[in-house]
Amino acid sequence: MLTDWMQLAVTRAKKAGVATYQNPQVGAVLVKDGQVLAQGYHHYFGGDHAEVDVLRQVTSEQAKDATLVVTLEPCSHYGKTPPCCERIVQAGIRKVVIGQLDPHPVVGGKGCQYLLDHDVAVVTGCLAKEVRALNPHYNHFYTHQRPWVTLKTAMSLDGKTNAAGDARTLISNQASYADSQRLRSQFQAILIGERTLTIDDPQLTVRLLAMTHPPVRLIVLNTSAVARDRRILQETTGETWLLCRQASASDASLQALPNVEVRIGDWTPAAISELCLQHGWQSLLVEGGAHLQADFVAANLIDEWVSYIAPTMIGGAGLPAVMGAVPTEQLAFEQPTLKWLGTDLRLRAVRKGVE
Amino acid sequence: MLTDWMQLAVTRAKKAGVATYQNPQVGAVLVKDGQVLAQGYHHYFGGDHAEVDVLRQVTSEQAKDATLVVTLEPCSHYGKTPPCCERIVQAGIRKVVIGQLDPHPVVGGKGCQYLLDHDVAVVTGCLAKEVRALNPHYNHFYTHQRPWVTLKTAMSLDGKTNAAGDARTLISNQASYADSQRLRSQFQAILIGERTLTIDDPQLTVRLLAMTHPPVRLIVLNTSAVARDRRILQETTGETWLLCRQASASDASLQALPNVEVRIGDWTPAAISELCLQHGWQSLLVEGGAHLQADFVAANLIDEWVSYIAPTMIGGAGLPAVMGAVPTEQLAFEQPTLKWLGTDLRLRAVRKGVE
């Protein structure tokens, strides 16, 4: 029964999709005498937590002595909302069943402790795997203090992303394009290199979905001058960060643009990862090019690989998906998962042992 | 009913597997009064044709006025055995249902004509697609007067076959290894380049299967000297052809070895294809390396791509599966078919429009 209720909570949690942004997806179910009284979830970033969403639906009489089944440990601190633990104790809940302890250092374990200190029974670890799968990026970010990094590429059967030369080669079909937009929407930051900027001139927006918090766009450049007159700076609904290796005369004028940041530094993968940590960007999608991908592989800062494979062959002079810096060893991944996108194939593999 | 019987004939045909070698797989069913009297197939290269295998199982009384359902047009010439058409007419068969006309120039259409000339009713094109799929290499060879060419590679998620340097990188798992042996058994010739010979020192044998006609091993080399002391020359159950760009002092001694041929020439993909045509090798498996694969792609002499993809990442300095010569355009393939081999993935795609 507990696992059935937790499954219900997991299902509710997913309804929010990416709207919870830097908050985790959380679902909750209130149960009494074997009956489900209410189901709720965290709807959007800044909105009520799942526990509050559930308690709102019942009378104080109903809530008293009930069991709360919730996917994530209830919070015990004043964040955007008052702590859920206080509400739970005030409501007279007798038992709380928790799917996963919160890896967030401000919460982790303290919510449980608060409940136990106030004579609420606590059960943890229910349906742990399904619950953890709700928030892989959030869990990873707070467990390892660095963003979840996914490398994404669109390639031919022979592993090439572009034909020889400076023109952009179209490889993927429309279904892959739409899917890669959905993928992009699941990340809080997107990264490209200078060559991708100049050859593709992308907007790096999530055009097919309306997003309250679009991913921050990061571009590694030699100098900011290259970014002038690019389409990415005309699109101001999200932030664009120009990560430049050298200062340039154009820095000040670009910095003055709305939603544009210019930063000078030695932008190694570790430095970019650290930037994400500082700003709370829990997930980073590295879209290319080949050298940037190779830098992340060599730095051992890669948690997932997604490739869109089109039934085409580019041949001998094509640009490989990953080219440049050399890792010290092969990196092992879990068995890939596959999805057909028309005649294209999406192959997705998570780094072995990553969580 | 006709298609049911033809399906039965197709199923029988497959029982021979690769034992038919340069002959096609053929199945036959003898039917009378709606009842199947006998089922047969071509068992092995040089053995009885399917029609004979079927007629052997019945009395002359039974055969008279019966219908013969056969996947391939009966032969009308004296080859390794007397022509089946004569046998069919002598047996008093009233009707022959044929899956596919024989693309072999000596037979094509003549078998049908012989039967019609002798007052046997003929139906053609029954279950054409399934029947043609029995012998894709045979059909291709005689239709286009060149071998079916499959490029095979074992690669990482990022499309690399080897790490940097001269050592061999192990990528695939045991299940992929076994599957690639089965793949190899389906080809009449296997081709590698000089670097693959020197780095991998392969035997290019089908070790997991006993084969009466193992594939001929072709190696493109600058000079034959490189091949001395390689394992491939110690393995003499099949032929090894050293395709050298330049003559060398070692040519004569190597040519004197059992089952070794040395040929000097400009071994372009077209020249290799022509060699296969001359010797009746209907199918060619190009196993690598990267430059040889690129040559075949650029020459537009590729009918199929097979890659074994392992859940690993080799990274920036790895050798791409295809590298070198540039094709004039992207080549289009049909939607790939997939097979899991443990945690490895086999991806197989046929050139668009190839038959």
SS (H, E, C) chain A: CHHHHHHHHHHHHHCCHHHHCCCCCCEEEEEECCEEEEEEECCCCCCCCHHHHHHCCCCHHHHCCCEEEEEECCCCCCCCCCCHHHHHHHCCCCEEEEEECCCCCCCCCHHHHHHHHCCCEEEECCCHHHHHCCCHHHHHHHHHCCCEEEEEEEEECCCEEECCCCCCCCCCCHHHHHHHHHHHHCCCEEEECHHHHHHHCCCCCCCCCCCCCCCEEEEEECCHHHHCCCHHHHCCCCCEEEEECCCCCCHHHHHCCCCEEEEECCCCHHHHHHHHHHHCCCEEEEEECHHHHHHHHHCCCCCEEEEEEECEECCCCCEECCCCCCCCCCEEECCCEEEEECCEEEEEEEECCCC
> CA neighbours within 13 Å on the CB side: how many for A31?
20
Looking at the complex, does the CB of residue B175 fall below 8 Å from at least one CB of chain A? Answer: no
Q: Which of A158, A307, A345 sits opposite B321 (nearest CB)?
A: A158
- Report the residue of chain B nearest A347, measured CA to CA: B157
Residue A203: both structure tokens together? 């907007």
Whether A327 and chain B come into contact, CB under 8 Å, resolves to: yes
Question: How is residue B48 written in tokens?
Answer: 């009885």
- Closest C-alpha among A244, A237, A230 to residue A215: A237
Question: Confidence class of residue A292 from pLDDT cuts 50, 70 and 90?
Answer: very high
Tell me, what amino acid is at B9?
A
Q: What part of B 128-157 touches A (C-beta under 8 Å)?
A: 153, 155-157
| The pair of three-digit structure tokens given for residue B268, joined into one six-digit string | 């372009």
Residue B77: burial class (beta carbons within 10 Å; 0-12, 13-18, 19+)? middle
Predicted confidence at residue B62, as pLDDT, reads 95
Of the pLDDT bands very low, low, confident and very high (cuts 50, 70, 90), residue A3 is very high
| Tokens read off for A324 | 């440049």
As a whole number, mean pLDDT of residues A121-126 equals 93
State the distance between the two ends of chain A, measured CA to CA, in whole angstroms. Answer: 27
B73 in catalytic set: no
The identity of residue A288, as a single letter, is: G
Give the Cα separation of B279 and B271 in Å (integer): 12
Mean of the pLDDT values across residues A313-330? 90
Rounded to a whole number, what is the distance in Å from the CA of B218 to chain A's nearest CA? 22
* B316/A297 CB distance under 8 A: yes
Q: Which of A51, A130, A194, A287 is catalytic?
A: A51
* Cα–Cα distances in angstroms (integers) from residue B3 to residues A235, B73, B123, in the given order: 61, 16, 12
Mutate to test the interface with B, among A149, A158, A296, A331 (most CBs of B within 10 A): A158
Assess whether pLDDT exceeds 90 at residue A210.
no
What is the spatial distance between Cα A105 and Cα A111, in angstroms, rounded to a whole number? 11
Angle at A200 between CA A199 and CA A201, to 5 degrees: 100
> Over its length of 355 residues, how does chain B's per-residue pLDDT go in tens digits?
889 999 999 999 999 999 999 999 999 999 999 999 999 999 999 899 999 999 999 999 999 999 999 999 999 877 766 799 999 999 999 999 999 999 998 888 899 999 999 999 999 989 999 999 999 999 999 999 999 999 999 999 999 998 877 677 889 999 999 999 999 999 999 999 999 998 888 888 887 777 889 999 999 999 999 999 899 888 778 899 999 999 999 999 999 999 999 999 999 999 999 999 999 999 999 998 999 999 999 999 999 999 999 999 999 888 899 999 988 888 999 999 999 999 999 999 999 988 7
Residue A80: is its pLDDT beyond 70?
A: no
- The pTM is what? 0.91
Angstrom distance (rounded) from CA B24 to CA B188:
13
Q: Which residues does chain B have within 8 Å of residue A340's beta carbon, measured at their own beta carbons?
A: 335
Contact A307/B at CB under 8 A: yes
- The overall average pLDDT reported for chain A is 93
Spatial contact of A239 and A107, defined as CB atoms under 8 Å apart: no
What is the pLDDT at residue B166? 66
Which whole-number Å values give the CA distances from B259 to A334, B237, B241, B310, in the listed order? Answer: 44, 8, 8, 35
> How high is the pLDDT of residue B74?
94
Q: Does A302 touch chain B (CB under 8 A)?
A: yes
Task: Write out chain B residues lying below 8 Å of A168, CB-based.
Answer: none
Question: Do the chains contact at A312 and B297, CB–CB below 8 Å?
Answer: no
Residues of B in contact with A173 (CB under 8 A): none
Its sign, for the CA torsion A156, A162, A163, A168, is positive
Residue of A nearest to B322 (CA): A316
Q: Other C-beta atoms within 10 Å of B271: how many? A: 14
Tokens standing for residue B239: 């032929």
CB A286 within 8 Å of CB A293: yes
- Give the mean pLDDT of A227-245: 90
Question: Which of B306, B314, B330, B344 is best to mutate for the A interface (most A CBs within 10 A)?
Answer: B330
- What are the φ/ψ torsions at residue B84 (nearest 5 degrees)? -65, -30
Residue A205 burial (C-beta neighbours within 10 Å; 0-12, 13-18, 19+)? buried
pLDDT at res. B117? 94
User: Which residues from chain A sit within 8 angstroms of residue B167, using beta carbons?
Assistant: none
Q: Nearest by CB to B297, which of A309, A316, A322?
A: A316
Question: Is the CB of A315 inside 8 Å of chain B's CB atoms?
Answer: yes
Partner residue opposite A313 with nearest CB, options B157, B305, B335: B305
CA-CA-CA-CA torsion sign (A229, A232, A237, A243): negative
Q: Is the pLDDT of residue A223 over 90?
A: yes
The rounded distance, in Å, linking the Cα atoms of A289 and A275 is: 20
Name every chain B residue with its beta carbon within 8 A of the beta carbon of A320: 158-160, 318, 320
Quick one: DSSP state of residue B261? E
Q: Would you place residue A166 in the very low, low, confident or very high pLDDT band (cuts 50, 70, 90)? A: low
Beta carbon pairs, A and B, within 8 Å: 169
Position A317 scores a pLDDT of: 87
List the single residue in A with minimal CA-CA distance to B350: A311
A159 interaction partners in chain B (CB closer than 8 Å): 155, 158-160, 320-322
